[in-house]
Amino acid sequence: MLKKSLALLFIIAVVITGLFSFCTHPEDNRFVSYTVNPNQIALYYKNNAGNRYGSLGNLKSALAKKGKILLFAMNGGMYKPNHSPQGLYIENHKEISPVDTTSGTGNFYLKPNGVFYIDSNTKPHITTTPDFKATGVKCATQSGPMLVTDGAIHPAFKEGSPNVQVRNGVGVLPNGKVIFAMSKEKINFYDFARYFKNLGCKNALYLDGFVSRMYCPEKGITQTDGDFGVIVGATSN
């Protein structure tokens, strides 16, 4: 009887430990992350006057004039030399820039690349570009490469690669929330992708590198500079 009781207690302990591990994020001090409900997220490019926001500080000031508090902001994807979005960009259900399915050089074209979007039901998605369906989309930004696809790290990434840079990206957590992350130091693609994978993200997308900036007072980061195309932000609504 004692043996059966001990065995039962052991099984319960294992289950509880497993549940705890699943519900908590593994610590990695090389990164700073911000988790948010998708209904708080919006994409920004130009104001009503047609002028590009450019910096995180400009966006913060513009939103403050409308009575909104910016909780978080980050550059939201790659851009062309004229700062227009590279690839697909949808804002408030309106397509500003079409999807790019061509081939080329650079990180954007390290396929599979992908799209981060929020649908009309305020559900977040990250999908490869070929799998993206432009129906019922509230906002979307295309970038590349995919960091994690269907739970697998991008096959081109190599562990220990010397190709390091400050990087930022986005993933969708198992609970349906969105997590944005930026490295505090120069990091290679493999380690960055593994960070999202370890968080349980089935899919994660690289947004950009080198120029990466984050505004997140909650985490003690208040970078307000930058000269971007698309910016992703979260407000208190």
Domain contains 69: yes
Domain count, the chain: 1
Q: pLDDT-based confidence at 47, cuts 50/70/90?
A: very high
Predicted confidence at residue 43, as pLDDT, reads 98
Within a domain: 7: no
| Structural domain includes residue 92 | yes
Domain presence at residue 25: no
**13 located within any domain:** no
**Exposed, middle or buried by CB within 10 Å (0-12, 13-18, 19+), for 173?**
middle
In tens, the pLDDT along 58-94 reads 999 999 999 999 999 999 999 999 999 999 999 999 9
3-state secondary structure of 127: strand
In a domain? residue 75: yes
pLDDT tens per residue across span 184-225: 999 999 999 999 999 999 999 999 999 999 999 999 999 999
* pLDDT tens string 102-135: 999 999 999 999 999 999 999 999 999 999 998 9
2 assigned to some structural domain = no
Does 21 reside within a domain?
no
Cβ-in-10-Å burial (0-12, 13-18, 19+) of 92 comes to exposed
Asked whether the beta carbons of 119 and 136 are under 8 A apart, the reply is yes
Quote the pLDDT of residue 167.
Answer: 98
* pLDDT band, residue 28 (cuts 50/70/90): confident
Residues spanned by the domain of 187: 31-235
233 neighbors 77 (Cβ within 8 angstroms): no
